[in-house]
Structure 1
Amino acid sequence: LNDLLYRWKIGALPIDIVGVVSNHFDYQKVVVNHDIPFHHIKVTKDNKPQAEAQLLELVEQTGTELVVLARYMQVLSDALCRKMSGRIINIHHSFLPSFKGANPYKQAYERGVKLIGATAHYVTADLDEGPIIEQDTARITHA
């Protein structure tokens, strides 16, 4: 999120950011310092349908065209994925299709890979399976 906000601030990301919705309070100060509305929605297994309804309501109220998931760390429901098809991008910290799901860095380390990466992809109901938009890699050592 910090990198996205920085790129937006310097004009390298030519978009209108209408707000940030997070399930982490620790981003509030960073977002507010950029004069962007911040919305906290707590997500638990018990309130997930209500949390997703709140998110969808905010998207509709603000006229949001695209949602970018950065450190959201929640699997979206099939229903939300269908309603927002083609309008949600996830930033996943692995070179997909390798190391899907949680803890991709740990998975990569345990596998001993020599290249790590990041992938931006459209979100679908299948975890980390959506169409890939962009990828980048970096060579690493385990020394």
Structure 2
Amino acid sequence: MTTLKAKLQEDLTAAIRARDELHSSTLRLTLSAITNAEVAGKEARVLSDDEVLKVITKEAKKRREAAEAFAKGGRPEQAARETAEGEFLDTYLPKQLGDDELDAIVAQAVAEARAAGAEGPRAIGAVMKIVGPKVAGLAEGGRIAASVKKALT
């Protein structure tokens, strides 16, 4: 059983052999982010696959935000590259939930929170606590928050 980090390293080797500059540079940056996460804190440790997924998710989000910023700044070539890198990183992530699936999970959580006595604006935190673990890694925080706010209004 190979770990996700080992798979990234194998894919990096293959990308370098294929002289695929986009994929090799993206994988190098992602692996260095994983290494930085491993040595952060008081003592070095090896990240679990779940923790590696979180790093990849963060890196993919950075690429999407950078692509937006480059597009607004009138630099379409850079925006296209960042978008391509983000899409490549997305191939390592679990399939994201669709809006309908996310809304259904949020609606169920809202019902649970209301049953527990959470009402009004304070219910947002209670609902997020219920939804968070169910959709971890399957939807971005901003999408989850927007869906919760929509369900509570």
Q: TM-score, normalised to structure 1's length?
A: 0.23
The higher radius of gyration belongs to: 2
Whichever structure has more strand as a proportion of its residues is 1
Q: TM-score, normalised to structure 2's length?
A: 0.22
